[in-house]
Amino acid sequence: MSPGFLPLLRVEDKEIVSTLSRLGPLLVPFQDHSNYQFPALSEIYLFVDNETAPDPDHIISLLDSGIQKVVVPVSLAKQLAPTVPKHRLLLLLDVANVSAVTETFKDSVSGVLLKTPTLDPELISSVSKFFSKSSIFVLPASQCQPSRSSIREISNVGAALVIATDQLSTSASTDQRLHVVDAFLASITSDRADGLFPTVVSSYTQGDTVLGLVYSSTDSIKESILTGKGVYQSRKHGLWRKGETSGAVQEVVKIRLDCDSDALQFSVIQHGEGFCHLNRSSCFGELAGLAALEKTLQARFESAPEGSYTSRLFNDSALLRSKIMEEADELCQATSREEVAFEAADLIYFALTRCVAGGVSVADIERSLDAKAKKITRRKGDAKPQWVSATPEVIKPLPPKPQSIPAPPPLPQEVEIDPFDPIRMRTYDLSQISLSQRADLLRRPVLRSSEMMAKVQPIVEEVRLKGDAALLDFTAKFDKVKLQSPDEVREAIDKAYSNIYKFHKAQAKDDALVVETMPGVVCSRFARPIARVGLYIPGGTAVLPSTALMLGIPAQVAGCHQIVFATPPRRDGTLSPEVVYVAHLIGASAILKAGGAQAIAALAYGTENVPKVDKIFGPGNQWVTAAKMLVQNDTDALVSIDMPAGPSEVLVIADETANPAFVAADLLSQAEHGVDSQVVLLTVNLPQETIAKIEEEVDSQARALPRADIMRQSIPKSLLVQTRSVKEAIDFSNDYAPEHLILHVRDAKDLAEEVQNAGSVFIGPYSPESCGDYASGTNHTLPTNGYARQFSGVNTQSFQKHITSQELTKDGLKVLGPIVATLADVEGLGAHANAVRIRLRELQA
C-alpha cells in the first residue's frame, strides 16, 4: 500500500516528482497534466474539480491512455460510473455533502478525496466508517503546514493526507516545507526493539519475484528515497549500500508499505550477478518459470555456443518466425489439458526468444498487458482478414482434469553455477546465535510428506488392482542375466561380503532366552526369521551393489526363506551386473526389474509374478519413502518397513588434532550422493586459519572429483558450525541425530561414549565413512532426517521377529493363578479369571 500521504503536484520540479513517484501515486490537477514529464513508471491520479470538468468521453480517453484513477465530483462520477470500473474512480466530495451520497452510489467508487475546512480526525473517522473498505484522502481547505504528527493523526483514522508539492522538500524540513522522507516515515512504525523495519526486496523486472529479506532504518530509507538506489541497514555493519563493492547495484522503482505499516517492500531493478551473496538471483533459491527462461535466453543471446539451436534461432529470423507460427497452430489444434500446456510452453519459449532478440523483456510485456487492462474503450476484436476462416470453428471445452497417476519426478534441472566460485559451506558460530537460530540449524530441508502421499497413492492403488499389467520389464529370476563384471569388482564384492557377513552373523542370537520368573513359571523368548522380505536397491545416479550387500547379508544370516530384490533397470533395460552378482551370493529368489513407488507397491501386495513380502527394506527417493510409509499403514497389505528415509547426511566433529584434508574428504564423501544431501562440520575451538584450510581443501578436492557438479549444489546448502568446546559440539550432534557421525578429535574413542543419537559412528582419523559404506562390516542402511533418535540402522535382528512362550507347572499355577484371577476381576474380565479358577478347582479336587 501507499504511504500516509498523497502528493498534489503544484510545482514543476523534476527532482521532487522523480522522488515522489517511487513512493506511490501522484495527484495531478487536470488542467496541468499535459504540462508535466512524468517518470515512465509513475502512477497518476487525475484531479478533476468542478471548475475544470471535461466531458466524460475525454476522461475515458485519458484512462485508456494509462491514467491510473480519476478524482471527479459527484455529478461527473454519476455519468462515469456505468462505464468506468469502480477501482478506477475516486469521488471528490466536500465534507458537508457526505450525507448526499447514497448507499448504492458509494459502491460505485473505490475511494473519496474529502475536502475539509480543517483537519478534524473525529469527523474524518466517521466519514471513513461510512465509506468502509474505501480509500480516504483528506485535502484541507486552509494552507496549514503539514507535519509528521498531522500525517500520523490522519493515518490513525484510516485516511491519507493530501499535501501539495510546494509544501514538500527533498532537503531538510523547515517551517514552510516538510521533508519528503519525514512525510513518508510519519505513518510507519516498527514493532522491533531495535527500531528496524523488515524489508522484502523484489525484482521489478521479474514480476516482483522475491530476492531476499533485509532490514531498513530511517537513515537507509532516507538515502534510498533520495538517491533511488537500494540502501539497507545491516544489523552488524550499519548502512549497507547494495552493490557498493560488488557492482550488483539496484535501482529502486517502488517503495511500498504493508497493511500494518510496519514492513516495507522495495521493488528494484537488480544489476550484476544477483541479489544473494552466493551470486544467485534470490536468497530463496534459483528463479523458475518465465523469469528463469528469460534469464537463460538473455545469457544465450550474449554468448550462445556456436551452432547451438538457440544461436540458430537468434540468427535466423525466418526459422524463428516459422517456429512461432508452427507452435501457435499446434496450440490451436491441442485437445487435452496436457497438450494445451505443452504447446503453450513451446509457443512461449519461441515468442520470448523473439522478444529477447528484439531487446524486449518480460517486464516490458507486463507493462503492455497492464496498459491494455487499463483500457476502458473496447474494440470489436475481430481477426485480421488473412486469419479469418471460411467456416468458423467452435473451441470445445477441455475435459475435466482426470485423477491420473502422477508422473515420476523429472530429473533435476541443472542449476547455472559459476564454476569459478568457491565451493563453500554456510558458516555459523554457536556463541553468536540465538536458541531459535540454533534450532533452525538442526532442521533438514522440508519434505512435504502429505503432498508425496497424495502423489504416490494412485500409483500404489494401480499396482494393487492391476498387478503385472501395471509393471513393465519385470524379471522374476536373476539367473537369466549374464554377469559381465570385471574380476577386481567381483573380488572386492567377495571381500566386502565376508566382512559384512562376519559382523552380522555375530549379531544373530540362536539361543532362546529362558527365565524362571517364579517357581514353576518359565518364560522364554526365541527368534524366528521373517519369512518373506523385499529389498529395494536404488538406481538413479549411481550403481549401488553395496546396498544390495547391506540388505541381503543380514536377511541371509537371519534365515529369511524368500528374498526379493527390487531395483530400477539401467537405460538399456538391463540390470546392474554387480547387483545381480550380490543377489547370487545371498541367495535371492527373485529380482523385480522396477523402481519407484510401483516397485514398493508390487512388493507389498504381490502380483501374478511378483511375490508378496512381509517387510520392505531399503533407501530411496521421496517417492519410494512415501510409498513405504503408505503401504505399512494399509491393513490389506500386512507389511512393515525398516524405517523412513531421507537424503544422505554426515556430521563431522573436528578439533585442533584433525587433518584438514581428511575432514574435507569425509564431508565430500556424503555431499556427492545428491544435491539434497546435507553435511555438517562442527569445529571445536579451531582458529580461523585452520577453518580456512578445511574450506580450501573442500574446494580443491571437490573440483577434482567426478561428481563435482552435484557437490557445487549440496555443499552451499551445508553447514560449518563453530563451537567453543567438545561438550557443546557433542550436545549439538546429539540434538541433530546424524546418519553418520565422524570424530576427528583427541581421545575420539572416549568421546564415542557420549554419543546418544547417531546412525553409525566413525572413530578417529583413519576411520573414513566410506569404509562403513562398503566393507568394514557394519551396515550402511541407517536412519536419516533425525530419525536416529528413534531408529537403529538395519541389522540382523531387523530381519527377525521374536516370539515369547511360557510354561507353568501345577505348582506354578497354584501360586500364580490367584494373582491372575484377582487382576482379571479388577478389570472386569470374568472369562480370564474363569480360565484360571477352573484349573485351580481341578487341582484341588
What does the pLDDT read at residue 440? Answer: 84
- pLDDT score for 408: 42
Comparing 432 with 571, the larger pLDDT belongs to: 432
The predicted model gives 652-668 an average pLDDT of 94
Provide DSSP, 481-532: SPP---HHHHHHHHHHHHHHHHHHHHH---SPEEEEEETTEEEEEEEEE-SE
When the candidates are 3.40.50.1980, 3.40.190.10, 3.40.1110.10, 1.10.3720.10, the CATH number that belongs to 452-641 is 3.40.50.1980
* Angle CA 527–528–529, to nearest 5: 125
Looking at per-residue pLDDT, the higher value among 158 and 3 belongs to 158
- With cut-offs at 50, 70 and 90, classify the pLDDT of residue 516: very high
pTM over 0.75: no
User: Fold match between 197-270 and 289-375?
Assistant: no
Residue 140 C-alpha cell reads as 484541507
Residue 786 DSSP code: T
pLDDT confidence tier of residue 83, bands split at 50, 70 and 90 = confident
Which run of H or E residues covers position 611? none
653 burial level (CB within 10 Å; 0-12, 13-18, 19+): buried
Would you say 592 and 600 are in contact if contact means Cβ atoms under 8 Å apart?
Answer: no
Predicted pLDDT at 663: 94
> Dihedrals φ, ψ of 434, to 5°?
-80, 170
The 10s digit of each residue's pLDDT in 533-555 is 999 998 755 567 888 999 999 99
250: pLDDT strictly greater than 80: yes
Residue recorded with cell 470453428: 393
The model's pLDDT over 581-621, given as tens digits with 9 standing for 90+, comes to 899 888 998 888 888 888 999 999 988 888 899 999 998 87
Report the mean per-residue pLDDT for the chain: 84
Residue 302 pLDDT: 80
**Section 703-711 average pLDDT:** 87
Instruction: Kindly write down the DSSP assignment for every residue of 67-118, as one continuous string.
Output: --EEEEEHHHHHHHTTTS-GGGEEEEEEGGGGGGS-HHHHTT-SEEEEEESS
Which residue in this structure is represented by grid cell 566410506? 770
Residue 448: the pLDDT is 57
pLDDT confidence of 409, banded at 50, 70, 90? very low
Calpha distance 11→166 (Å, rounded): 6
Q: Are strands 513-518 and 521-529 parallel, antiparallel or unpaired?
A: antiparallel
pLDDT number for residue 49: 81
As a whole number of angstroms, the distance between CA 179 and CA 746 comes to 63
The whole-number pLDDT of residue 445 equals 62
**Antiparallel, parallel or unpaired: β 238-241 and 590-592:** unpaired
Cell numbers representing residue 157 in the block: 483514522
According to the model, what pLDDT value does residue 93 have? Answer: 84
Query: Reduced to 3 states, what is the DSSP secondary structure of residue 721?
Result: strand
Integer Cα distance of 355 and 349 in angstroms: 10
Contact 647, 625 (CB under 8 A): no
Q: Are 471 and 610 in contact (CB under 8 A)?
A: yes
Question: Cβ–Cβ contacts within 10 Å for residue 700, how many?
Answer: 13
The distance of Cα 436 from the centroid of its chain, to the nearest Å, equals 20
Q: What is the mean pLDDT of residues 370-377?
A: 80
Using 50, 70 and 90 to split pLDDT, how confident is the model at 166?
A: confident
What is the maximum span of the chain, computed from C-alpha positions, in angstroms? 120
**CA atoms of 329 and 314, how far apart (whole Å):** 21
Domain 289-375 has CATH 2.120.10.30: no
Q: Which of 290-294, 329-333, 756-760, 776-780 has the lowest mean pLDDT?
A: 290-294
Kindly indicate the confidence band of residue 389, based on its pLDDT and cuts at 50, 70 and 90: low
Which residues are 215's β-sheet partners? 198
Contacts of 49 by beta carbon, 8 Å cutoff, 6+ apart? 29, 30, 73, 92
Intra-chain end-to-end CA distance of the chain, in Å: 93
Query: How would residue 55 be classed by pLDDT, with cut points 50, 70 and 90?
Result: confident
| Amino acid 400: pLDDT | 54
DSSP 417-440: --TTS----EEEEGGGS-HHHHHH
* Amino acid 520: pLDDT: 93
Catalytic residue numbers, as ranges: 739-740
Q: Is residue 43 over pLDDT 80?
A: yes
Which range is least confidently modeled, 254-258, 317-321, 724-728? 317-321
Q: Are 669 and 705 in contact (CB under 8 A)?
A: no
Q: At 782, which amino acid appears? A: L
DSSP tag of 282: B
Higher pLDDT, 25 or 409: 25
| Whether the predicted pLDDT of 413 surpasses 50 | no
* Whether the Cβ atoms of residue 70 and residue 51 lie closer than 8 Å to each other: no
Q: Would residue 467 be called left, alpha or beta, if left means φ above 0 and alpha means ψ between -120 and 50 degrees?
A: left
**Cβ 426 vs Cβ 719: under 8 Å:** yes
The pLDDT score that the predictor gives to residue 305 is 67
Q: What is the pLDDT of residue 79?
A: 87
Q: Please give the backbone phi and psi of residue 555, each rounded to the nearest 5 degrees, phi first.
A: -65, -40
| 285 Ramachandran zone, left/alpha/beta (phi>0; psi -120 to 50) | left
Is 42's pLDDT higher than 90?
no
Which string of DSSP letters, residue by residue, matches 129-189?
HHTTTSEEEEEESS-PPP-HHHHHHHHTTT-EEEEEGGGEESS---SS-EEHHHHHHTT--
CATH 3.20.20.70 applies to domain 5-185: yes
- pLDDT interval class at 31 (50, 70, 90): confident
pLDDT tens digits, residue range 758-779? 999 999 999 999 898 888 888 8
Query: Identity (one letter) of the amino acid at 508?
Result: A
Task: Please state, as a whole number, how many other Cβ atoms lie within 10 Å of the Cβ of residue 72.
Answer: 29
What's the confidence (pLDDT) of residue 477?
A: 32
User: pLDDT class for 247, splitting at 50, 70, 90?
Assistant: confident
User: The C-alpha cell of 634 is what?
Assistant: 494399509
What pLDDT sits at residue 675?
80
The C-alpha atoms of residue 741 and residue 734 are separated, in whole angstroms, by 10
pLDDT at 415: 45
What one-character DSSP code corresponds to residue 401? Answer: P
Q: How far is CA 318 from CA 315, 324, 355, 422, 734, in A?
A: 9, 10, 15, 43, 64
pLDDT-derived band at 822, boundaries 50, 70, 90:
very high
**Cα 43–chain centre separation:** 34
What SS3 string covers 615-636?
EEECCCCHHHHHHHHHHHCCCC
Predicted confidence (pLDDT) at residue 46 exceeds the cutoff of 60: yes
Residue 426 forms beta bridges with which residues? 719
Q: What was the pLDDT predicted at 659? A: 95
Number of C-beta neighbours around residue 12 at 10 A = 12
Q: What is the pLDDT of residue 723?
A: 94
Lowest mean pLDDT among 22-26, 31-35, 230-234: 31-35
pLDDT per residue over 59-75, tens digit each?
888 888 888 899 988 88
User: What's at 431, amino acid-wise?
Assistant: S
Specify whether the CB–CB gap between 255 and 224 falls below 8 A: yes
Handedness of CA 96, 97, 103, 109 (dihedral sign): negative
Nearest to 1 by CA among 155, 209, 190: 155
* DSSP label at residue 399: P
- Please list, residue by residue across 752-778, b when 16 or more beta carbons sit within 10 angstroms of its beta carbon and e when fewer do: beebebbbbbbbbbebebbebbbbbbb
* Strands across the sheet containing 740-744: 426-429, 719-723, 678-684, 649-654, 740-744, 760-763
Sign of CA dihedral 414, 417, 422, 426: negative
Higher pLDDT residue, 835 or 375? 835
Q: Which amino acid is at 446?
A: V
pLDDT top residue among 776 and 307: 776
C-alpha cell, 251 = 535501482
Whether the Cβ atoms of residue 243 and residue 276 lie closer than 8 Å to each other: no
- Give the per-residue pLDDT at 526: 92
95: how many CB neighbours lie within 10 A of its CB? 19
Residue 378 has pLDDT above 80, yes or no: no
| pLDDT tens, residue by residue, 676-685 | 888 999 999 9
pLDDT for 480: 37
Could you tell me which CATH number the domain at 197-270 has? 3.10.20.810
Residue 690 clears pLDDT 70, i.e. is over it: yes
Q: How far apart are CA 637 and CA 564, in angstroms?
A: 16
CA distance 256 to 22: 9
Contacts of 255 (CB under 8 A, 6+ apart): 22, 23, 184, 221, 224, 225, 264, 265, 266, 267
Classify strands 640-641 and 615-617 as parallel, antiparallel or unpaired.
parallel
pLDDT score of 481: 38
CATH code for the part of the protein at 646-792: 3.40.50.1980
pLDDT, tens only, 442-499: 887 655 566 667 776 777 777 677 665 655 433 333 333 344 456 777 788 888 888 8
| Domain-wise residue ranges, the chain | 5-185, 197-270, 289-375, 452-641, 646-792, 809-844
Question: DSSP readout, 539-588?
Answer: -TTS--HHHHHHHHHHHHHHT-SEEEEE----TTSPPPHHHHHHHHHHT-
d(CA 490, CA 499): 15
Instruction: Answer whether residue 724 shows pLDDT above 90.
Output: yes
Assign 519 a pLDDT band (cuts: 50, 70, 90).
very high
